[in-house]
């Protein structure tokens, strides 16, 4: 189907009673955006991505500071930056409460408030140019389900019931509406309805983040135009925040509804029409069987996060057993995805070890919480998350940190590194207290944000024996190896039985191959706290080392020997 016809078909599904005049005007505008790709290359570049997520101000102050660190990131092994919220915001929810969709926060640009749009485009454009020159793609967050209550749309909507922007949001006097919709911020918010005068407005997250009303076609067109603006400047993709909640219907839980998928298809079709290869990444905290629906038939999001894999990696290390990871990646749990799609994997997204009961059982949630929530103040959402840095979760055990990265970097998907984890950044108590005072919300995720002290880090990395240096050297080596081998992002995953020299199964070892037509890799991870030896299953082939930690090989017995929490990555020829 011709792209404009496809876009029109989605429009008619969503708004059968609406005129097509608005859509025609929009398509005329979209046509003007069509241009050559700013950063040409493979349309499925995200399959080879090693992503680094960061808050610019916490990472290094502003875009100028971030540009100064691009060589650091390139040297680290990163080829894609995920900029956590950068758009104009009151910053009551780390920037996920957006006040203006076409403006970057002034402080991140190093500009005073009220700057001209041309200045923004120059500074941001210079940054994109420098990143692209190093082969680094750039994506950023855009919350498409809700705005800040300081957004001009909402300020207008509050003025009167007949204001044109009133219908950009959802209002009622009957708070039993959408009663089946769960409270997402359990323990923080008590209701999805917030009173305002004689009315209530609907919100799924904080009460200062009113949900948008996509039943109003003006909302869909306005949001799509926001995406087109940033795409035209050279942004390589968008992380679509809170995507399962876009469409609301009475009598449902207001999650994963059919018309939500039509909205996503509309976004994708427009972005592809204007500049194919602009990533649309779904943030859907759901079971894989639901998440895969956001990739559609390769016509919705290009990629989605694999939420349940993350807690199961932690469970496997705590248990010392491979079964949780293998079971999670089995076809029964993780369905096949379209050929042009990809999973994104992580060791916390992007703030906490998330344990939502949507995709973990109560038993698993309790087990992981008991094994990793080492301090009561790390608790988030009444047990449905743990707000702690990776180094804190593993109590500064370099071996466990390396093992967790070994799994994430070599299992199915494209990996996401959270800023500071590459050197073992710890929880920031002072930043946590500062943000509580600033926002008035006791959000324990502030513990795992915090600023990077580059002077301190520079001194630490000169000390070869320091904890931070040990973590940094190990993770940097792994990231660079990962980036050099396309099979990690594109190969199929086949789990291999680990057996001892006398052919007894060893459940403590997680091993698998990653295979493409051009490359074959073999990875072995010791999930236990004791040394283990397994038979080499590829004695008829040649294995060569790609990376390792706590590994040796016995030529006489042809066994792979791993120290506690050790691992090894092989190439096979």
31 Cβ partners below 8 Å, 6+ apart?
A: none
Annotated active-site residue 174? The verdict is no
The domain boundary residue, chosen from 433, 456, 484: 484
Residue 550 falls inside a structural domain: yes
Radius of gyration of the chain measured on its C-alpha atoms: 24
Q: What's the pLDDT score for residue 41?
A: 67
- Looking at the structure, tell me whether residues 540 and 430 fall in a common domain: no
- Looking at the structure, tell me whether residues 368 and 229 fall in a common domain: yes
Domain that holds residue 348: 45-147+215-484
Residue 33 falls inside a structural domain: no
DSSP letter, residue 444: G
Half-sphere exposure of 181 (CA within 13 A, CB side): 26
Q: What's the pLDDT score for residue 32?
A: 86
Q: What's the pLDDT score for residue 38?
A: 58
The domain boundary residue, chosen from 467, 484, 501: 484
Answering whether pTM is above 0.85, one says yes
Out of 241, 255, 300, 356, pick the active-site residue.
Answer: 241
Instruction: Flag residues of the chain having pLDDT under 70.
Output: 35-41
In DSSP terms, which residues pair with 494 in a beta bridge? Answer: 513
Q: How far apart are CA 307 and CA 373, in angstroms?
A: 19
- Looking at the structure, tell me whether residues 202 and 291 fall in a common domain: no
- Looking at the structure, tell me whether residues 186 and 335 fall in a common domain: no
Helix (H) or strand (E) holding 220: helix 217-233
351 Cβ partners below 8 Å, 6+ apart?
A: 94, 387, 445, 448, 449
The domain boundary residue, chosen from 159, 187, 211: 211
SS3 of residue 139 by DSSP: strand
Q: What's the pLDDT score for residue 286?
A: 82
Annotated active-site residue 241? The verdict is yes
Helix (H) or strand (E) holding 566: strand 559-572
- Closest to 204 measured CA to CA, from 286, 157, 282, 145: 145
Q: How far apart are CA 568 and CA 548, in angstroms?
A: 4
Condensed to tens digits (0 to 9), the pLDDT of residues 451-498 reads: 999 999 999 999 999 999 999 999 999 999 999 999 999 999 999 999
How many structural domains compose the chain? 3
- Looking at the structure, tell me whether residues 75 and 85 fall in a common domain: yes
Residue 293 falls inside a structural domain: yes
Condensed to tens digits (0 to 9), the pLDDT of residues 401-453 reads: 999 999 999 999 999 999 999 999 999 999 999 988 888 878 888 999 999 99
C-beta of residue 304 within 8 angstroms of C-beta of residue 346 = no
> Cα-flanking dihedrals φ and ψ of residue 88, to 5°?
-55, 130
Q: What's the pLDDT score for residue 36?
A: 53
Out of 62, 88, 255, 283, pick the active-site residue.
Answer: 283
The full DSSP string for 231-289 is HHHT--EEEEETGGGSS--TTS-SSS-HHHHHHHHHHHHHHHHHHTT-EEEE---S-HH
Extract the tokens encoding 446.
């502030």
The full DSSP string for 17-67 is TS-SHHHHHHHHHHHHH----SS-S-TTGGGG--EEEE-HHHHHSSHHHHH
Task: Indicate the length of the chain as a whole number.
Answer: 573
- Looking at the structure, tell me whether residues 128 and 162 fall in a common domain: no
- Looking at the structure, tell me whether residues 236 and 314 fall in a common domain: yes
């Amino acid at each position: 189907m011709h792209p404009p016809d496809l876009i029109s078909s989605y429009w008619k599904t969503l708004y059968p009673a609406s005129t097509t005049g608005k859509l025609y005007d929009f398509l005329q505008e979209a046509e003007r955006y069509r241009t050559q790709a700013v950063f040409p290359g493979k349309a499925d570049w995200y399959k080879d991505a090693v992503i680094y997520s960061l808050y610019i101000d916490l990472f290094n102050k502003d875009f100028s500071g971030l540009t100064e660190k691009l060589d650091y990131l390139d040297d680290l092994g990163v080829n894609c930056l995920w900029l956590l919220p950068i758009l104009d915001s009151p910053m009551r929810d780390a920037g996920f409460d957006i006040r203006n969709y076409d403006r970057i926060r002034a402080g991140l640009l190093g500009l005073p408030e009220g700057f001209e749009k041309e200045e923004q485009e120059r500074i941001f454009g210079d940054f994109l140019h420098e990143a692209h020159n190093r082969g680094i793609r750039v994506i950023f967050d855009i919350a498409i389900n809700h705005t800040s209550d300081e957004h001009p749309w909402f300020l207008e909507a509050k003025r009167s019931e007949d204001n044109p922007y009133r219908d950009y949001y959802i209002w009622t006097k009957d708070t039993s509406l959408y009663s089946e919709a769960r409270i997402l911020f359990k323990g923080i918010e008590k209701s999805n309805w917030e009173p305002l005068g004689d009315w209530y407005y609907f919100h799924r997250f904080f009460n200062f983040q009113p949900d948008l009303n996509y039943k109003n076609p003006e909302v869909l067109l306005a949001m799509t135009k926001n995406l087109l603006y940033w795409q035209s400047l050279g942004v390589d993709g968008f992380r679509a925040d809170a995507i399962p909640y876009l469409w609301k219907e009475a009598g449902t839980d207001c999650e994963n509804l059919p018309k939500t998928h039509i909205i996503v298809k509309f976004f994708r079709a427009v972005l592809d029409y204007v500049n194919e290869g602009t990533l649309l990444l779904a943030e859907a905290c759901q079971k894989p069987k639901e998440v895969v629906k956001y990739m559609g038939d390769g016509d919705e999001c290009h990629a989605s996060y694999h939420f349940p894999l993350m807690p199961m990696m932690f469970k496997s290390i705590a248990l010392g057993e491979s079964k949780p990871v293998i079971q999670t990646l089995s076809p029964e749990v993780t369905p096949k995805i379209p050929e042009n799609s990809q999973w994104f994997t992580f060791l916390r997204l992007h703030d906490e070890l998330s344990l939502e009961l949507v995709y973990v059982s109560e038993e698993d949630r309790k087990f992981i919480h008991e094994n990793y929530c080492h301090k009561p103040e790390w608790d988030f959402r009444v047990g449905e998350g743990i707000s702690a840095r990776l180094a804190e979760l593993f109590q500064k055990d370099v071996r466990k940190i390396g093992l967790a990265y070994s799994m994430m970097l070599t299992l199915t998907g494209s990996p996401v590194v959270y800023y500071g984890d590459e050197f073992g950044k710890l929880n920031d108590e002072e930043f946590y207290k500062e943000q509580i005072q600033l926002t008035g919300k006791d959000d324990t995720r502030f513990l795992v944000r915090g600023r990077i002290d580059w002077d301190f880090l520079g001194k630490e990395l000169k000390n070869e024996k320091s904890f931070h240096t040990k973590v940094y050297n190990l993770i940097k080596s792994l990231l660079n190896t990962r980036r050099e081998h396309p099979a990690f992002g594109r190969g199929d995953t086949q789990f291999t039985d680990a057996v001892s020299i006398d052919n007894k199964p060893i459940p403590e070892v997680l091993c698998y191959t990653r295979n493409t037509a051009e490359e074959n890799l073999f990875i072995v991870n010791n999930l236990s706290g004791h040394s283990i030896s397994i038979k080499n299953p590829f004695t008829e082939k040649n294995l060569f080392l790609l990376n390792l930690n706590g590994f040796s090989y016995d030529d006489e017995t042809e066994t792979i020997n791993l120290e506690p929490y050790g691992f090894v990555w092989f190439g096979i020829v």
